[in-house]
Amino acid sequence: MKHITLISGNEGEGWLWSIECYIYSSSHLNANIFQIRNFKDNYKKNKKGLIQSVRKWQETNLEKNKEDHKLWLKNNPDKVRQYGKKGREKEEHKEYMKQYLKEYTPLWRANNPDKIREYDARTKNKRKRNLGFIPLNMHFENAEAHHVDKNHIIYIPKEIHNSIYHNLLTGQGMAEINAKAFQYLFGNN
């Protein structure tokens, strides 16, 4: 008996698939060569339909697949350890890249002032195009303009503005800094 993978592939989004068969004797192989060729031709014609049917089967058998995966993890601890190493290697690589960039970036910036000027101008122009400037309070000494949304700003002390990292485009830290900004705005008026 011989195990043969007829066709396999990776269709993105983590979908791996293969179609396999078992050949029991040489006469069995000769009798099925035509069927295999016919299958490959049909596969090429109906690739999307086959992939959709495989995905549908995987979705309908999700619980069984989870149980099978747990069983595989239990029966293959050496493979699990091997794949775990890759995760540790990624972390080591991240640390290496942090250190490398920390050392290399100042040198690159010093050697490429024209590119730095171009990047800075591009970034500033992008921000100017995307952000409005409607103040909700008056400017005062040692104040910075904080955008609470794409159009409105609140002038707040520099210490408050720099106390929390935030990014309006990604939304990171915006809830916290906006709370402090509105607390300052309504607490002073």
- pLDDT score of 28: 52
- pLDDT score of 180: 93
Q: How many CB atoms lie within 10 A of CB 80?
A: 12
- Hey, CA dihedral for 104, 110, 111, 115, is it positive or negative? positive
Residues of the chain predicted below pLDDT 50: none
- pLDDT score of 68: 86
What global pTM score does this model have?
A: 0.36
- pLDDT score of 22: 62
- CA-to-CA distance for 49 and 43, rounded, in angstroms? 9
- pLDDT score of 2: 65
Q: Which residues contact 166 (CB under 8 A, 6 or more apart)?
A: 172, 173, 174, 176, 177
